[in-house]
Amino acid sequence: MRVLVVGGGAREHAIARTLSIAGAELVHIAPHTNPGIARLARATARSEITDADAVVTFAERQEIDYAVIGPEAALAAGVTDALRAAEISVVGPSASGARIESSKLFCRELLARNGVGGQPRFEAPRSLEEVDALAERFGGPFVVKPSGLTAGKGVWVQGSDFIEAKEGAAYAKSLLVQGQRVLLEEKLVGEEFSLMAFVTDSGIYPMPAVQDFKRALEGDKGGNTGGMGAYSQRDHLLPFLPAADRDAAVEIIRQSVAALRTEGIEYRGILYGGFMLTAQGPKLVEFNARFGDPESINVLSLYEEGNFDELMFGVASGRVDPNLVRFRLRSTVLKYIVPPGYGDKPHAGGILRLDEPAIEAAGVHVYFGSVEEVGPSAMQLGSGRGIALVGEASAIHEAGTRVETALAHVQGEFYVRHDIGTNEDLARRREHMRQILSPGAKPSPLPLSVAPAAAPPSSAASPDRFL
Ligand code: AMP
Ligand code: GLY
């Protein structure tokens, strides 16, 4: 089939590559050329991905069978609605469905109205006076977030981004003054994980769980970013995430899709829950209406070769064959190569020299994001996340070691979080979760390995049997 991929980051490169392995014919639209997608696509158009007319014109000219939309901005701008009006099927919700991500207030109110569990307490002040009053009597640490899209960067968490309640209040007021709606939310404490699902008319089909590293610097220091890297575990759980809690998160996704339907919103696409595993079980941090970046790159690297085109067409058409939802039982580690200063003041323009054959020979896949090809094996970094390297192995730390080996084949000035997927980091997260579940417990000695129990080599998902 002929597929239009909308968006030009490493996530879209992973979508394009997985489709292309399945034999799909690719056409691509994005503001910049993506060096990875350019190698795969038979036609490319340069346009803002929020320009619905440009996307529809290109889609019609290319006579595509369906489209896959990567970035939230295109969904929020109604590109899906415009394509569907032209009778083109799309993986991605309409603008009304995408509000589950583009308006955090809409999301929280929708879920509260429909009694969906796993929600933190929240308030949505309308005036400066109300902010002061609510911050003062919130009754515990809180988080301040603008309701609209912020690329994961607008959230301030008490204890890391601000200390005193009045500092949080000042930030909330600065957002209100700019005309934005703002939420004060109960601060959730625990370990975060991402769980994405394919959502169709016939049900939801979850993907393996992933842990994203949002903070810019090692040891989870620095500001929030779109995500510096991520890992997934062979059994599709995480070192700190048991099956029962993963299933509880799936149930929150299922109830949320039902809530959308109850309110007349059909949803065909990807729904991505950002969860916090707390002492009370998983709680919803936020929903995204699309594939995660980087999480989907981990997950798509595990997709059983051959059928992704059919699966995506099934999502776009509203009905999926559960046997197509198949992910290999292997661990993955992804690290993003970013410009120095990323997360604060990125220094764009540096040149990287990449020995791609040597990287692939190390068992690591390369996905291009915010880079421009400026010569043979030479990439110029933009200001965003540049190149994702994904290693795969039986144990998480082995996958991480593969990426570290591959990094020796990248020359130039860049930053990367070396701590992602190390045994030390995994043990720290398990210990963090243990302390949350039994505060005051004696620290356990760090385990030498965090490999999960042996599992069969492959799995298929059905609405009733999750991975
Ligand atoms: P979001 O844009 O909602 O994903 O928020 C970005 C990051 O802020 C999340 O990944 C969390 O690390 C943090 N965050 C957001 N909401 C909360 C919350 N209610 N409690 C604790 N941390 C949060
Ligand atoms: N990794 C976070 C996101 O895709 O929003």
Please indicate whether residue 448 or residue 341 has the higher confidence score (pLDDT).
Answer: 341
How far is the C-alpha of 389 from the C-alpha of 399, rounded, in Å? 11
Q: Which of 285, 286, 293 to mutate to test the pocket of ligand 1 (most atoms within 8 A of CB)?
A: 285
How far is the C-alpha of 43 from the C-alpha of 28, rounded, in Å? 6
Q: Which ligand is nearest to the CA of 145?
A: 1
How far is the C-alpha of 334 from the C-alpha of 311, rounded, in Å? 24
Alpha helices in 41-194 (DSSP H): 52-61, 72-76, 79-85, 95-102, 104-113, 128-136, 165-177
Beta-bridged to residue 204, according to DSSP, are: 199
The per-residue pLDDT for 466 is 27
**pLDDT surpassing 50 at residue 392:** yes
* Residue 185 in contact with ligand 1 by CB distance below 6 A: yes
Cα of 374 to ligand 1 centre, how many Å? 37
Q: Which ligand is nearest to the CA of 7?
A: 2
Q: Which two tokens stand for residue 5?
A: 């991929």
- What is the 3-class SS of 42-67, one letter each residue? CEEEECCCCCHHHHHHHHHHCCCCEE
**pLDDT surpassing 90 at residue 298:** yes
**pLDDT surpassing 50 at residue 53:** yes
Rg, the chain, Cα only:
21
The per-residue pLDDT for 465 is 26
pLDDT in tens, 178-220: 989 999 999 999 999 999 999 999 899 999 999 999 999 999 9
**pLDDT surpassing 50 at residue 326:** yes
Beta-bridged to residue 365, according to DSSP, are: 390
Q: Which ligand is nearest to the CA of 292?
A: 2
How far is the C-alpha of 203 from the C-alpha of 141, rounded, in Å? 37
The per-residue pLDDT for 440 is 74
How far is the C-alpha of 365 from the C-alpha of 297, rounded, in Å? 10
**pLDDT surpassing 80 at residue 155:** yes
Q: Where does the pLDDT of residue 136 fall: very low under 50, low under 70, confident under 90, or very high at 90 and above?
A: confident
Q: Whose CA is nearest to atom 4 of ligand 2?
A: 292
Chain centroid to CA 438: 30
Structural domains of the chain sorted by starting position, each given as residue range(s) with its CATH number in brackets: 2-91 (3.40.50.20), 121-186 (3.30.1490.20), 191-411 (3.30.470.20)
**pLDDT surpassing 70 at residue 450:** no
Q: Which ligand is nearest to the CA of 189?
A: 1
Phi, psi of 240 (to 5 degrees): -110, 5
The per-residue pLDDT for 443 is 65
CB 382 within 8 A of CB 26: no
Cα of 145 to ligand 1 centre, how many Å? 8
Cα of 221 to ligand 1 centre, how many Å? 15
The per-residue pLDDT for 151 is 67
pLDDT in tens, 223-254: 888 899 999 999 999 999 999 999 999 999 99
**pLDDT surpassing 90 at residue 260:** yes
How far is the C-alpha of 211 from the C-alpha of 215, rounded, in Å? 12
Neighbours of 447 (CB within 10 A): 13
The per-residue pLDDT for 152 is 60
Helix pair 396-407, 423-437: axis angle to 10 deg: 140
Q: Where does the pLDDT of residue 445 fall: very low under 50, low under 70, confident under 90, or very high at 90 and above?
A: low
How far is the C-alpha of 192 from the C-alpha of 49, rounded, in Å? 30
Q: Where does the pLDDT of residue 451 fall: very low under 50, low under 70, confident under 90, or very high at 90 and above?
A: very low
Cα of 454 to ligand 1 centre, how many Å? 33
Sequence-distant (≥ 6) Cβ neighbours of residue 179 within 8 angstroms: none
Quick one: which atom of ligand 2 is closest to the CA of 294? 1
Q: Where does the pLDDT of residue 453 fall: very low under 50, low under 70, confident under 90, or very high at 90 and above?
A: very low
Q: Which of 104, 108, 138, 145 to mutate to test the pocket of ligand 1 (most atoms within 8 A of CB)?
A: 145
Cα of 229 to ligand 1 centre, how many Å? 16
The per-residue pLDDT for 459 is 41
- Across the chain, mean pLDDT equals 93
Spatial CA neighbour of 236 closest among 262, 266, 210, 218: 210
What does the pLDDT average to over 397-404? 98
Neighbours of 362 (CB within 10 A): 19
Q: Where does the pLDDT of residue 344 fall: very low under 50, low under 70, confident under 90, or very high at 90 and above?
A: confident
**pLDDT surpassing 90 at residue 222:** no
The per-residue pLDDT for 317 is 97
Type of residue found at 81: D
**pLDDT surpassing 90 at residue 442:** no
> Rounded to a whole number, what is the distance in angstroms from the first to the last CA of the chain?
27
**pLDDT surpassing 90 at residue 432:** yes
> Parallel, antiparallel, or unpaired: how do β-strands 211-212 and 229-232 relate?
antiparallel
Cα of 82 to ligand 2 centre, how many Å? 25
**pLDDT surpassing 70 at residue 467:** no
